């Protein structure tokens, strides 16, 4: 399947969705260290959102509010002496290519799953107990869960379908959505995604993911999040937001008929992060420091 870009349109063979006006920019992430946000998640602390940068940054997370302002612990303010708040450091962790995060039951899951060249053998997920954003300056990773794909035949393999930028949690189980490239071409995109599930939690050996399903018309997923009531899954791509209903049976989240909300790529360039603010509204962050709001109703 060939992907084509159009201004305000999302084009696939046989399909055409007009741009939807429900997407609104509400803030700029002006805090200097937030150079390339690739994950956002609603915190268990009211009014707080966790964000992190993409590959190559220090192992750290930032707490922000809905205006994009950082939430700096009071005891750090004087010590900063005018320097920008560096975020909450996470010890025993490394940001090789963090691509998404999720919060569930007091745990932050950080997806160390970026794999642009499809050659990494050190993919996995960090687990961090959610810190009080106004009470600590650093924390540590509780553990790291190494993961591997059951259908990858080499590093890189014959297919470049093993980059993941979208992670979500459903009833304590982790799920992953892949982003596909043409073999040997880091910027050569292919249509389709695969949904995988983590069924084990080994820390000293590889956890081989379980392939749940595939879907051909979801292109370049960059983030995902389950709604607070657990009845809908939001999947973000560069040009569209897909809202999937909870599957009638089992856990194939890609099986249902989704609602597709499209947006102009020039309005939201490089949309990389999404979270539910409540059961009717989502927040999107992009690598250009924008924070956007999308009302999807019930």
Q: Over the chain (298 residues), what is each successive 10-residue block's mean pLDDT?
A: 38 45 87 96 97 96 97 92 95 98 98 97 98 97 98 96 98 98 94 98 98 97 98 95 95 96 80 96 94 92
Q: Give the H or E element holding residue 74.
A: helix 74-80
Do 94 and 69 meet the contact criterion of CB atoms below 8 Å apart?
Answer: no
3-state secondary structure of 36: coil
- Which pLDDT score, from 0 to 100, does residue 22 have? 73
The string of DSSP letters for 142-168 reads: SEEEEEE-TT--STT-SSEEEEEEEEE
C-alpha span between 41 and 180 (Å, rounded): 24
- Which pLDDT score, from 0 to 100, does residue 20 have? 59
Q: What is the DSSP letter of 209?
A: P
- Which pLDDT score, from 0 to 100, does residue 6 have? 37
Looking at the DSSP bridge assignments, the partners of residue 28 are 290
Single out the residue of 11, 50, 58, 10 nearest to residue 33, CA to CA. Answer: 58
113: phi then psi, degrees, rounded to nearest 5: -130, 5
- Which pLDDT score, from 0 to 100, does residue 9 have? 38
Cβ-proximal residues to 51 (8 Å cutoff; 6+ apart), any chain: 29, 34, 37, 39, 40, 61, 62, 64, 273, 285
- Which pLDDT score, from 0 to 100, does residue 3 have? 40
Single out the residue of 218, 221, 216, 213 nearest to residue 195, CA to CA. Answer: 213
Number of Cβ atoms within 10 Å of the Cβ of 162? 26
Q: Give the per-residue SS3 of 190-204.
A: CCCEEEEECCCCCCC
Domain spanning 4-295, CATH architecture:
6 Propeller (2.120)
- Which pLDDT score, from 0 to 100, does residue 10 have? 42
Do 65 and 127 meet the contact criterion of CB atoms below 8 Å apart?
Answer: no
Structural domain spans, the chain: 4-295
C-alpha span between 295 and 285 (Å, rounded): 15
Is 0.85 topped by the overall pTM? yes
Taking CA atoms, 22 is separated from 169, 241, 272, in Å, by: 26, 11, 18
Q: What is the DSSP letter of 189?
A: B
Intra-chain end-to-end CA distance of the chain, in Å: 32
* Tally of CA atoms within 13 A in the half-sphere of 51 that contains its CB: 31
Residue 175: exposure state from Cβ atoms within 10 A (0-12, 13-18, ≥19) = buried
């Amino acid at each position: 399947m060939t992907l084509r870009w159009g201004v305000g349109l999302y084009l696939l063979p046989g399909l055409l969705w007009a741009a939807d006006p429900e997407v609104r920019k509400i803030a700029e992430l002006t805090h200097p260290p937030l150079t390339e946000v690739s994950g956002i998640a609603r915190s268990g602390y009211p009014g707080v959102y966790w964000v992190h940068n993409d590959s190559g940054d220090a192992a750290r997370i930032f707490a922000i509010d809905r205006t994009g302002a950082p939430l700096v612990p009071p005891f750090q303010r004087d010590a900063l002496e005018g320097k920008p708040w560096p975020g909450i450091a996470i010890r025993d962790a490394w940001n090789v290519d963090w691509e998404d995060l999720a919060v569930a039951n007091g745990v932050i899951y950080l997806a160390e799953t970026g794999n642009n060249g499809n050659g990494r053998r050190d993919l996995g997920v960090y687990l961090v107990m959610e810190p009080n954003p106004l009470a600590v300056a650093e924390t540590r990773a509780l553990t790291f869960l190494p993961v591997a794909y059951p259908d990858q035949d080499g590093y890189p393999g014959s297919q470049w379908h093993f980059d993941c930028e979208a992670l979500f949690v459903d009833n304590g189980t982790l799920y992953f959505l892949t982003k596909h490239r043409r073999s040997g071409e880091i910027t050569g995109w292919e249509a389709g995604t695969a949904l995988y599930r983590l069924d084990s939690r080994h820390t000293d050996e590889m956890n081989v993911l379980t392939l749940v399903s595939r879907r051909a018309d979801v292109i370049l997923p960059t983030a995902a999040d389950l709604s607070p009531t657990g009845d809908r899954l939001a999947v973000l791509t560069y040009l569209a937001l897909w809202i999937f209903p909870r599957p009638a049976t089992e856990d194939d989240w890609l099986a249902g008929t989704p609602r597709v909300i499209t947006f102009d790529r020039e309005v939201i360039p490089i949309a990389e992060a999404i979270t539910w603010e409540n059961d009717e509204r989502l927040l999107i962050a992009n690598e250009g420091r924008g924070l956007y709001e999308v009302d999807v109703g019930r």
